[in-house]
Structure 1
Amino acid sequence: MKRLLGWVLPILLLAACGTNGNDTAGAGEMPEEIIVEINTAEQTEVAENVVLSATVTQGGEAVEDADEVVYEVWESGNRDDSEMIEAEHVEDGVYEAETVFEEEGLYYMQAHTTARRLHVMPKQEITVGDPDPGSIVPDDTDDSQGMDKMNEHSGH
């Protein structure tokens, strides 16, 4: 029995010393989530100037220093032909860019947002004009396609 205690006691002491949950190697405090709220209207007309807009916040505070906000825009069924449009910070965590949709259809915009070492990419539909429902192709693309395009855009 003494022999068993001689082995078990040091192991228990070592295990107890190494289980402090706050001292996990390489882990710091988790940063608060970045929230990207798309402000762009979901309906517009052909050939109208459209402001692509999103508000970026963290912990309820406006993010004024996002590393990058890029809007990826594509027509339904044509993600491979998407366009990357770089946004500029205008005020109070709002990032904007402009585009024009030349044809009726269902389009998607995805706000690729990198801020404070986090990347989020919410997506929204934009209906342009009064498209024929038969012309609309559901978006079944994987968001990794957008990440690939983003990496090409950023040169990373």
Structure 2
Amino acid sequence: MMKKFMWLGLPFLLLAGCGTDAAGTGEQIEEVMVEFNTEQQAAVAEEVVLSVSVTQGDEAVEDADEVVYEVWESGDRDNSEMIPAEHKEDGVYEAETSFEEEGLYYMQAHTTARSLHVMPKQEVTVGNPDPDSIVPDDSEDSQGMDKMEGHSGH
């Protein structure tokens, strides 16, 4: 008689076990959010401040391990430039660059903070490029990751 009850109880124990494991400590790691502060329009050869705000929940992230901007002209990611950002205040990380030619550019903020990696991308139109001159950008984000390998550990 006892064995029968053991078998009935077993599936319930297994179910209960899974439920608690999935929740772990019950703490959900809050996503690190990276928002661009940089305008999407820039003038040729003018200093442009690349700027992002890094937050986690309601809190500004002051201790990001690394924020590196990858900047490239549309269709030419192979020649992208990596520009390390400096922490200013209130979770804002900035770097400066300038664009020497009219065109459509991309900036991607490779951000490592609190053991999470976030890499949002934003377009920047420089000057008034001829729409016909813009090459569609089909680069994969993994291309930027390859370039990041030399950076990690700063």
Q: Please give the TM-score of this superposition, normalised by the length of structure 1.
A: 0.87
Query: 1:108 deviation in Å?
Result: 0.1
Once residues 74 and 16 of structure 2 are traced to their aligned partners in structure 1, the CA distance between those partners, rounded to angstroms, is 56
Query: 1:155 deviation in Å?
Result: 6.5
**SS of residue matched to 1:106:** strand
- Which consecutive segments of 4 or more residues in structure 1 shift more than 2 A? 9-19, 22-25, 27-30, 152-156
Does residue 120 of structure 2 align to residue 134 of structure 1?
no
Query: 1:16 deviation in Å?
Result: 5.1
Unaligned runs of 5+ in 2: none
1:77/1:12 CA distance change after superposition, 3 Å = closer
Q: Specify the alignment match of 2:17 in structure 1.
A: 18
Once residues 11 and 93 of structure 2 are traced to their aligned partners in structure 1, the CA distance between those partners, rounded to angstroms, is 54
Q: Specify the alignment match of 2:81 in structure 1.
A: 83
Q: Please give the TM-score of this superposition, normalised by the length of structure 2.
A: 0.88
Once residues 155 and 91 of structure 1 are traced to their aligned partners in structure 2, the CA distance between those partners, rounded to angstroms, is 22
The sequence identity of aligned pairs, in percent, is 71
1:30 to 28, 31, 35: 28
Query: RMSD of aligned C-alpha atoms?
Result: 2.2
Moved more, 10-19 or 108-117: 10-19
Query: 1:100 deviation in Å?
Result: 1.1
CA displacement, residues 106-147 of structure 1 (integer Å, 9 cap, x when unaligned): 100000111001111110000111111111111211111111
Question: When the two structures are aligned, how many residues end up with a matched partner?
Answer: 153
Once residues 102 and 17 of structure 1 are traced to their aligned partners in structure 2, the CA distance between those partners, rounded to angstroms, is 62
